[in-house]
Amino acid sequence: MPDAPIGRPRTIAPHHIAAVALELFTARDFDAVSMDDVAAAAGVSRRSVFRLFPSKGSLVWGGFDEFTERVAAALRAVPADVDGDTAVCSALVTASAFPPDDQDVTRRRLLVIDRNPSLASEGAAQHSALTQVLREAIAERDGVEHADLHVAVRAAARAAEATAALTWWAREGAESPEAVVERALGGSAVRD
């Protein structure tokens, strides 16, 4: 029986695997790339990929949770006396200021989603989580019930506007992503 390896097991970086997958999805077609292809290109086992990413779509949508967390953090930084819509717009702009190292991966992610409508259903949960964060902020700041129709519609509309703006930025934009989102939202962000 061979000796077991000495030392700690190798750490597998989820961001690395997602970046490799996005390169493959960009070079080929999303549907033409298998999880085995991703594992081989990333230099890890298929099992390791599935342990970190339960589906091929989750390789693409993984960054959306981080974006929602960035929006929530940005909302907490907006002064409490700012109305719901202005606070939400400001938070979406702030969260769209991706660090330079993340912009290429974000652009690829959005382009893969844009080219593959089948991914939309897999991202519904992530989009719903973002809308929920916006909905809670609008209701709390405007002193309105969370279940109010206008709160639900405003939150969903702002989430969709920001998503559409970022997708446009991924395809067309020479500007920064936050400038595109701010322009799409009508310049409603809070100024420092």
Output the pLDDT for position 190.
53
User: In the prediction, which pLDDT does 10 show?
Assistant: 55
Sign for the pseudo-dihedral over CA of 22, 24, 27, 32: negative
Q: How far apart are CA 29 and CA 128, in angstroms?
A: 27
Q: Which amino acid is at 99?
A: P
Instruction: State both tokens at 152.
Output: 């639900």
How far apart, in whole angstroms, are the C-alpha atoms of residue 16 and residue 8? 19
Provide the token pair at 156: 């969903």
Give the Cα separation of 141 and 146 in Å (integer): 11
CB 52 within 8 A of CB 12: yes
Give pLDDT, residue 124: 84
Of 63, 52, 58, whose CA–CA distance to 13 is shortest? 52
Q: What is the pLDDT of residue 72?
A: 97
138, 88 Cβ separation under 8 angstroms: yes
DSSP state of 148: -
Sign of the C-alpha dihedral computed for residues 124, 125, 130 and 132 taken in this order: positive
Residuewise pLDDT in 10s, the chain (192 residues): 455 455 444 567 888 899 899 999 989 889 899 999 999 999 999 999 999 998 899 889 887 888 999 999 999 999 999 999 999 999 999 999 998 888 888 999 999 999 988 887 788 888 899 999 999 999 999 999 989 999 999 999 999 999 999 999 999 978 999 999 999 998 655 554
